[in-house]
Amino acid sequence: METYRGGEVRFYRIAGMGHGTPVDPGGAAEQCGTAGAYFLDTICSAYYDTRFFGLDTGSPPTPTPTPTPTPSPQPCFTATNYAHTQAGRAHQSGGYAYANGSDQAMGLWNTFVTTTLRQTGPNYYEVVGTTC
């Protein structure tokens, strides 16, 4: 092994080694891999790389957690069943109102019955009761 620039660069010269990834099959700490095409039975380069960069001490790194996206609030609408149909959130059939998309029954289609709908997708509404 030769070092350059105060040890910042290390050069390992291995006599007779061809072109490939150096591995050293076995179970010891300085051994790794399986020899095969382009995986040469010489030294375990991964072992020496981890030592050079100081990765052979301490605990193994933990993966960075993936942030969970904050769901955007789903809009709610409270109105009479007649107003919901006029706004395109519901439709009527036989004197009754039904939420668009889910087809949930909302009650009589008139200006006296009030329903709260939550939009859960494009032109998809669900009945949520009195509060959202």
User: Would you state the pLDDT for residue 55?
Assistant: 81
User: Would you state the pLDDT for residue 69?
Assistant: 74
User: Would you state the pLDDT for residue 1?
Assistant: 66
Q: State how far the Cα of 32 lies from the Cα of 44, in Å rounded to an integer.
A: 6
125: β partners: 101, 119
**Confidence class for position 115, pLDDT limits 50, 70, 90:** very high
User: Would you state the pLDDT for residue 28?
Assistant: 86
Q: State how far the Cα of 116 lies from the Cα of 80, in Å rounded to an integer.
A: 9
Q: State how far the Cα of 124 lies from the Cα of 126, in Å rounded to an integer.
A: 7
Q: How does pLDDT run across 53-109, given as a tens digit for each residue? A: 788 776 655 666 777 777 777 889 999 999 999 999 999 999 999 999 999 999 999
Q: End-to-end CA distance of the chain: give it in Å, rounded.
A: 70
User: Would you state the pLDDT for residue 36?
Assistant: 86
Stronger pLDDT, 107 or 6, i.e. the higher one = 107
Torsional class of 38: left (φ above 0), alpha (ψ -120 to 50), beta (otherwise):
left
